[in-house]
A and B are shown apart, each in its own frame.
Chain A
């Protein structure tokens, strides 16, 4: 019972924060709104019983991605043209298209999917069980993703032009 209320609460928070993201002017505030969304989603995951994902959501997404994002915002001078004029020329077409999109998705959902239950589902997603299953069944994906990370490291180095002699 309380879980359902909390679930709804967290979902609502996520939505509100997302809307705020679109509306706020200062990028730092947008970043904070996004962080709020992510944390709410972590809460949802936890309530659903998928604890391992909830933990990793906070650790990786909020802890690494958003921190990096905040660093970048702090580094740059954000009070420029995009600060005074937030929205692009395609504001109205964009909103119209988004509403249409939502309508179609809603139509599709309403036709096809039953309402989910909000309860936890046993120990499937306990950390130990999850990680064993992950590294047994999905080890190939794991390896491929590690390759991706190597590629990302190389790309970062390339961007920084490490190894090139200082060009004075």
Chain B
């Protein structure tokens, strides 16, 4: 059941990346995906009584932090250049 929840959270996160236009919301959906994965890891760690899953989740926290610390400044710079938070304005790498 928890695994199902984790799968659902992951799917919802990925859907959010596909569907929402606002860049910040997309970032938050990516965090949601990470959370879904963390839940599944913790569940497995608890079931099999090994520490590996939990350790991995801990590392995920660190990585997520580092990621967000860089991603948000990048978004800020992008917004400064483009003026909007709409992802359709960022289609510069076309073709």
Direct chain A–B contact by Cβ atoms under 8 Å? yes
- A residues lining the B interface (CB < 8 Å): 7-8, 11, 14-15, 18-19, 21-22, 27, 30-31, 34, 37-38, 41, 44-45, 48-50, 52-53, 56-57, 60-61, 64-65, 68-69, 72-73, 75-76, 78, 80-83, 85-88, 90-91, 93-95, 97-98, 101-102, 105-106, 109, 113, 115-118, 121-122, 124-125, 130, 133-134, 137-138, 141, 145, 148-149, 151-152, 155-156, 159-160
A-B contact pairs, 28 of them (CB 8 A): A7-B2, A15-B8, A21-B29, A21-B32, A22-B15, A30-B24, A34-B28, A34-B31, A41-B35, A48-B42, A48-B46, A50-B46, A53-B58, A56-B58, A65-B64, A69-B28, A69-B72, A73-B24, A85-B21, A88-B87, A98-B18, A105-B7, A130-B54, A134-B55, A138-B55, A152-B69, A159-B74, A159-B77
Q: Is the CB of A15 within 8 A of B9?
A: yes
Within 8 A of A (CB), among B51-95: 51-52, 54-55, 57-59, 61-70, 72-77, 79, 84-89
Q: Are A98 and B15 in contact (CB under 8 A)?
A: yes
| Residue of chain B at shortest CB distance from A33 | B28
Point out the residue from A69, A91, A115 that lies within 8 Å of B68, measured CB to CB: A69
List residues of B whose CB falls within 8 A of some A CB. Answer: 1-5, 7-9, 11-16, 18-25, 27-29, 31-32, 35, 38-39, 42-43, 45-47, 49, 51-52, 54-55, 57-59, 61-70, 72-77, 79, 84-89
Q: How far is the CB of B12 from chain A (nearest CB, A)?
A: 5
Q: A76-B24, A156-B69 are in contact. Are A45 and B42 (CB under 8 A)?
A: yes
Q: Closest residue to A137 on the B side, CB-wise?
A: B51
Other-chain contact of A76, B39, B64, B69, B76 (Cβ < 8 Å)? B76
B12 touches A18 (CB 8 A): yes
Q: A11-B2, A94-B15 are in contact. Are A116 and B32 (CB under 8 A)?
A: no
* Cβ–Cβ contact A41 & B39, under 8 A: yes
CB-CB nearest 3 A-B residue pairs: A152-B66, A94-B18, A82-B22
Q: Determine the residue in chain B with the shortest Cβ distance to A49.
A: B46
Distance in Å from the Cβ of B31 to the closest Cβ of chain A?
Answer: 6
Main secondary structure of the interface of A (DSSP, over half): helix
Min CB gap A117→B, angstroms: 7
Task: Report the bound CA distance from A45 to B61 in whole Å.
Answer: 14
Within 8 Å by CB of B85, from A78, A130, A152, lies A78
Q: Which residues of B contact A85 (CB under 8 A)?
A: 21, 86
